């Protein structure tokens, strides 16, 4: 059966695709429909589209309805209006470069009548947090994701969120991303403590009282506040929603939240599921 309140929503990454059915009436993910699959993005185009559409079909089968709308969050570069993949030389999806991906997806699903819309993954995170938390009546909200990369997005009331693309903004001796992501913690802790760890979680768990930890956190706070200030001034807004894996250590990074008093900072409520909700919300006016 058809039900236009239900949207198939997909979050495509460099090594996976996660799909779920989203209920448009309240912007929630339908129970037990989250479907995650591995994708070998170095394979040929046929294999990639097979991985994607197999995941989508498995997801739709969990609810047993015919879907009319698909929202897809995808990494850039990508022509989101035309659905053309533009990733090249990034060790992912080279084989679908310059391909309009909707047609192969529809062919793989065996249904040419589905409407597909696309959104940048960082923008989808922000839009999902906005709609999921019922904040869509606010005038403007800025989004940041902190993890292996630095994501930034802007949401304006009535418009689709867009990628602010600030990761490579010059900062100190390099760019902002090099001072705000997981590898910065790994490299800085090794510099200070002469100890190599795999990630931030391992540093905190294995060395909770090491003097280098407090030095590193102080430096990171400075870097992040500099970025918040830059982003806030650029878009005349001090309201932020922040997500990404680094947020799991937020209380360790900011034990004293008063240092953030100049900003209205909210930690994302939906995190890894936010992009799913955000991609579905592309159909909020349909």
Sketch out the chain's domains with CATH numbers.
Answer: 6-126+274-283 (3.30.420.40), 138-267 (3.30.420.40)
Tell whether the model's pLDDT for residue 14 goes beyond 90: no
The model's confidence at residue 89, banded by pLDDT at 50, 70 and 90, is: confident
DSSP 185-239: HHHHHHHHHS---SSHHHHHHH-TT-HHHHHHHHHHHHHHHHHHHHHHHHHT--E
Tell whether the model's pLDDT for residue 109 goes beyond 60: yes
**Rounded-to-integer distance, Cα 37 and Cα 148, Å:** 20
pLDDT averaged over the chain? 94
The model's confidence at residue 2, banded by pLDDT at 50, 70 and 90, is: low
Q: Averaged over 268-279, what is the pLDDT?
A: 92
Tell whether the model's pLDDT for residue 65 goes beyond 90: no
Question: What pLDDT does 18 receive?
Answer: 96
Question: What pLDDT does 93 receive?
Answer: 94
Tell whether the model's pLDDT for residue 82 goes beyond 90: yes
The model's confidence at residue 76, banded by pLDDT at 50, 70 and 90, is: confident
Question: What pLDDT does 4 receive?
Answer: 75
- Has this prediction a pTM greater than 0.85? no
């Amino acid at each position: 059966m058809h039900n236009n309140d239900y949207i198939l929503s997909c979050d495509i990454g460099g090594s996976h695709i996660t799909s779920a059915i989203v209920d448009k009436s309240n912007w929630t993910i339908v129970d037990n429909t989250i479907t995650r699959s591995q994708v070998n993005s170095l394979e040929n185009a046929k294999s990639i589209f097979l991985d994607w559409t197999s995941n989508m079909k498995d997801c739709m089968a969990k609810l047993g309805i015919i879907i009319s709308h698909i929202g897809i969050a995808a990494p850039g570069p990508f022509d989101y209006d035309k659905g053309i993949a533009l990733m090249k030389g990034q060790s992912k999806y080279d084989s679908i470069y310059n391909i309009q991906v909707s047609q192969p997806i529809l062919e793989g699903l065996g249904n040419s009548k589905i409407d597909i819309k696309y959104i940048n993954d960082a923008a989808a995170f922000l839009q999902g947090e906005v709609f999921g938390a019922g904040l869509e009546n606010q005038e403007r909200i800025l989004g940041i994701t902190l993890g292996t990369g630095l994501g930034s997005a802007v949401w304006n009331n009535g418009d689709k969120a867009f990628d602010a693309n600030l990761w490579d903004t010059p900062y100190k001796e390099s760019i902002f991303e090099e001072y705000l992501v997981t590898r910065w913690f790994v490299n800085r802790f090794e510099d200070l403590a002469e100890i190599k760890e795999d990630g931030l979680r391992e540093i905190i768990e294995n060395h909770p009282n090491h003097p280098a930890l407090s030095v590193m956190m102080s430096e990171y706070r400075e870097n992040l506040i500099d970025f918040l200030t830059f982003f806030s001034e650029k878009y005349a807004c001090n309201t932020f929603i922040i997500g990404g894996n680094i947020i799991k250590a937020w209380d360790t990074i900011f034990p004293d939240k008063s240092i953030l008093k100049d900003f209205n900072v909210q930690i994302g409520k939906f995190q890894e599921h936010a992009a799913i909700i955000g991609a579905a919300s592309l159909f909020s006016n349909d």
